[in-house]
Structure 1
């Protein structure tokens, strides 16, 4: 089996929802054979589900990732490159490229467009492989960027990196000793910055669209578990696992 595919399967299996489903299956199977095991599996699944969907907890652990870097304002020096790290898309005939991008890719692109308006001297590098699609994510983001008014001749693509480390490896030789802005999701930025620093690139961080946007005002509904927070907690879980792998591979 392909190593990249194996990593994806393993990561999916250890996500919160997968663990909850596994525990519920265990609770059902051993309901009569081992009632105590069944009870603890059900109790653990319920507890994990509650904690994963509880907004104050989910927001606090996500904020710990997202609060590492402030929003990009303007560089004191001319910017040579704006790097947009790869995300996810689905090519669908009849849809514009902007609609084919999943939310994380679109958010990164919008942030990059904003930065380009501040620094039109910069070249843009899009990144990301096809992942089974007919087009690479780098190419799809480029198409969407052109639709949003960025000049085609200012956009370079890296079509083959499959993960953040490969993006850093492939892009670093081009941007060494340049003034570089690194755009990715706010929760992903600490891991991305560490990889680029490993390969000698001291980029300016540009966090895109943080999950947690707090103005200090909350209502009673904020303390009610909801499904969106499960997705948010899963994202934190995924990034935490990525940081652990990054630490072991130093």
Structure 2
């Protein structure tokens, strides 16, 4: 089996929702044979679902990942490259490229466009492979960037990196000793910065769309479980696993 696919399968199985579904399956399977095991699995699944969807806990897990770097402000020096790390999309005929991007990719693109308007001298590098789609993420983000007003000749694509480390490996030779901005999701940025530094690139961090936006005011609904917080917890856990793997490799 391909190592990259195996890594994806393992990480998927370790996600909160996958564990919850496994516990529920065990609860149903042993409902009559082992009632105590069934009840314990059901209780554990319910507890994990509640706390994974509970905003105070989810925000506590995510905030340390997202608060490592401030929002990008105009650089005193000219910017040579703005790198947009790969996200996800789904090609669909009849929809503009901006609507084919999933939320993480769209947020990264919007942040890169904002930075480009501050530094129109820069070139943009989009990155990301095709997976099972007809188009690479790098190409789809390029199409969306053109729709948003970025000149086509200002965009370069890296169509083959499958993960963050491969992106750093492939892009680093092009941008060494240049003034570079690295754009990715706020929670993903610490891991991405470490990989690019490993390959000799001291980039300026540009966090895109942090999910925790605390203005100090919280209504009663904040303390109710919510599906978006389950997604946020999953993202925090995914990044934690990624950083463990990164640490083991180093």
With the shorter chain as reference, the TM-score category is: over 0.9
Give distance in 1, aligned partners of 2:2 and 2:79. Answer: 38
**Which residue of 2 is the match for residue 34 of structure 1?**
34
**Which residue of 1 is the match for residue 218 of structure 2?**
218
**TM-score of the pair, normalised by structure 1:** 0.98
**Which residue of 2 is the match for residue 98 of structure 1?**
98
**Which residue of 2 is the match for residue 150 of structure 1?**
150
**Which residue of 2 is the match for residue 179 of structure 1?**
179
User: Which runs of structure 1 show a deviation greater than 6 angstroms over 4 or more consecutive aligned residues?
Assistant: none
Q: Which moved more, 1:159-168 or 1:6-15?
A: 6-15
**TM-score of the pair, normalised by structure 2:** 0.98
Q: Which moved more, 1:168-177 or 1:41-50?
A: 41-50
Give distance in 2, aligned partners of 1:6 and 1:180. Answer: 32
Q: How does 1:177-216 map to 2 (within 5 A)?
A: 177-216=177-216
**Which residue of 2 is the match for residue 66 of structure 1?**
66
**Which residue of 2 is the match for residue 11 of structure 1?**
11
**Which residue of 2 is the match for residue 87 of structure 1?**
87
Structure 1 stretches lacking a partner, 5+ long: none
Q: Which moved more, 1:33-42 or 1:138-147?
A: 33-42
CA offset digits 1:182-208 (Å, max 9, x no partner): 000001001100100110101000000
Aligned residue pairs total 250
Q: How does 1:210-249 map to 2 (within 5 A)?
A: 210-249=210-249
Query: 1:32: Cα distance to partner?
Result: 2.4
Q: How does 1:103-142 map to 2 (within 5 A)?
A: 103-142=103-142
CA offset digits 1:54-90 (Å, max 9, x no partner): 0111011111110000000111111010000001011
